[in-house]
Amino acid sequence: MTRGNPNITIAIVDTGVDLNHPDLKGNLVPGVNLMNPKLPPQDDNGHGTNVAGVVAAVTNNDQGVSGILWNAKIMPIKALEADGSGGEAKLGEGIRYAIDHGAKIVVLSLGLNKYSTYMSDIVKYAEEKGVLLVAATGNEGNRVRYPAAYSTVLAVGGMTPDHIADTRSNSGPEIDLVAPWDVFTTALGGTYEYKDGTSMAAPQVAAVAALVWNKYPDMKPYQIRQLLRQTADDLMVPGWDAVTGYGLLRADRALTETPLLDMYEPNNRKDQAKALSVSQMIAASFTGGSDQDWFYFDAPYDGTVNLNFDLEAGQSVDVQHTDAKGTFTGVTAAPGKPVALKVSKGRSYLQLHLSDRGKKEEVPYKLTTSFDIYADQFEDNDKQYKAYVIPSRSQTIKGTFHQMNDQDWFEFPVEQSGMLTIRLSTDTARIDPVLYVQKQGEKGVTVDDGGDGVTEMLVLPEVFPGSYYIRVSNVKEYAFPVTGEYTLDIEYDAKQIDPNEPNNKSYQSTTISLDTEYSGLMDKADDIDWFQFQISGDSYVQTDITDIPSGVTMFANLYDGSMKPVSSGDGKTAIQLHQRLPSGTYYLKLTASEPFDRDLYQLIVHAEPLLGGYSDIQSHWAQDNILELSGKQIINGYDDYTFRPDLPITRAEATAILSRAFKLSKQKNIQYKDVSPSHWAYVDIARAAQSGIVDGYPDQTFAPDQPVSRMEMTSMIARSMNKSGKVRGAVPFTDVDDDYWGVGILKQMKAEGWITGYADGSFKPDQQASRAEFVSMLAQIMP
């Protein structure tokens, strides 16, 4: 298809290149030595020469090796010292030099753990100038390094001969592709050698990008990135993943397959949702106003996912988001105006739709995502006088650096002499943790012995009563917010005192308040701890005993006011007694397999008042309808005594409710691919299908977990009422026209008073219906 690209220049920002290497000099063009501008960019390390050979070692010259590009223009830019070290100043200067001197592709087989606005601005400058940046993710088995981590940089990891990501290859939400980890390439002094790492994988991707640009010279950098993603071989789950990105680089496919305007289709339904990174730029399109694009992403922590859409002027996107806890959010995003979605750790789903439902033409768009980690529960504690007071016991604290120059202060009150061991670790190399400890009124100690991601530790063999202040921070150079958590482990070895004694008898029970944490210990072999609490009404009560010392088994027995046993449990790390209880006084008896007096167990009792057996419907607008249908056993909730009224209702749930509501008994022989006879709603779906209330899709699926839209909800209930929708008249809602598939049903149901729209005259037929909306509409038609 093509053997090279002599029309563009590829800059290698590295340690320089061996300018006299017989297998390279034929493809070299003038560069620059930023370490010593008076000297040529001669490689004094070897790394840059290794990279250059992968890109464009001269081919058909009867010596050495062949680069992916048989002919090319390689610009050597020396931005690193002889030992391979360097900083962002020279790195940024090297990228800027390449852009300003005609480079079309810049290879960056290097990286830093530090984010900076300086480098971010240079990366944006490259994108604006139509220059593609390709960077290695790094070789530490940690998070993707910068500049690979910026959203418009093509981030490349390394793959082993077994077609799996090398364990040393950095990964995370920024990774795009992987390429072979091991190569044989050019070396200093006109020689050759085996080299490995993501530094050798990145130039392979850069070279293939040059081949693609030779075939499609009018492509923009984002289109090059998208085509390489489109044509990569999946190595793990289909689509994108955080370890191998979109998969293995495939030069042959990139040069032979037709570039797609939207590589994620089909994704018109939730069960077709495609993987989306929380920190990347992608390109896709809406085929028109009726097209829906479904994506899912996995949030690494609780936090905020920011969506920034780039599409034609005058258009906007309706975003419907359901996070890992089932929380639903609907927003509208306009070009250049990012929307922020609060997310819980885990999988979230996005449904995207043009706001202009009547749009007939295809509308391409670019979507840039970014992630902001949550502010930890100890904020605001950035100053010593704001120090968060933590319990005087051994414990583990997780925190974040969610804002500029974030640092966290803690006050640890020592009540009894003992030994104090403090460890500060992190789950990302983007944090270089620094620990500072000071006893009030005395000189403090700073611990910063390790580097990026390395645990710091301080042992104080003897501490005395008083306040000890602990400061946790990132090194000063890493001032920006970081996606990652630190862990502060505090081991305090001191003889403890049980604050609840004497409580060895039931009549000595310690009265506890709900939602308040209590501590205790068993300092004698026959020690017993009694507690009592009151429940004012029918409630779901959660009694949790945690922090049970290692090697100890604790036993818990719960009694009612007449000392009749209610429940019991035991555990080596924790005990949970969760049950529904009527109002009254309750007694809790705790014992242990052996005594302990160095650690304290923790006890907390929480009660959720129940209404109709549910903890989350009190004062909800649909409360009465939920209670009515629940009383008729038409609907039910979840095992944790919740109904989750605002959660989108699925096709399986809606069908089961209608089957029970109308007491359907006859069932049809159904053969949907995704509903086996063992599916919990199989019988109800078969009965509803027999009655003509529901049917499947042309691909022989039912999509039982697909959310039901407001139009589908109305249609299902109308069919249950034997209403065919054959009423004429004006269209009753502003966002529905006579060509809409359900307009007849809407006309009839509106005319007969079964449905109403919103105050603005719309019905929002494609919006997901909630469990409360479905129950409320069904309650209206029930006798």
Residues with a catalytic annotation lie at: 14, 47, 199
Which residue in the block uniquely carries the two structure tokens 């269209």? 731
Query: Beta strands 154-159 and 177-180: pairing type?
Result: parallel
Report d(CA 694, CA 655) in Å as an integer: 7
Q: Distance between CA atoms of 66 and 57, rounded to whole angstroms? A: 5
Output the six-digit token pair for 652. 């399986």
Give every strand in the sheet of 518-522, ordered side by side.
518-522, 596-609, 539-546, 575-581
Question: Kindly report the CA angle at 422 between 421 and 427, in degrees rounded to 5?
Answer: 140
Length of the chain: 783
| Burial of 100 (C-beta count, 10 Å sphere; 0-12/13-18/19+) | exposed
Q: Which residues contact 152 (CB under 8 A, 6 or more apart)?
A: 123, 124, 126, 127, 133, 221, 222, 225, 281
Residue pair 485/400 in contact by the 8 Å Cβ criterion:
yes
Starting at the edge strand found earlier in the chain, the sheet holding 292-299 runs 274-275, 292-299, 346-354, 317-322, 328-333
Looking at residue 594, its amino acid is E
User: What amino acid is encoded at 562 in this protein?
Assistant: S
- What number of other Cβ atoms are within 10 A of residue 671's Cβ? 9
d(CA 485, CA 472): 12
Task: Determine the residue type at 352.
Answer: L
Spatial separation of the C-alpha atoms in residues 197 and 209, rounded to whole Å: 20
d(CA 217, CA 522): 76
Neighbours of 208 (CB within 10 A): 26
> What's the rounded Cα separation, in Å, for the pair 102 and 32?
13
Order of strands across the sheet that contains 303-311: 281-286, 363-373, 303-311, 339-343
Query: Residue type at 475?
Result: V
3-class SS at 293?
strand
- Distance (Å, whole) CA 649 – CA 666: 24
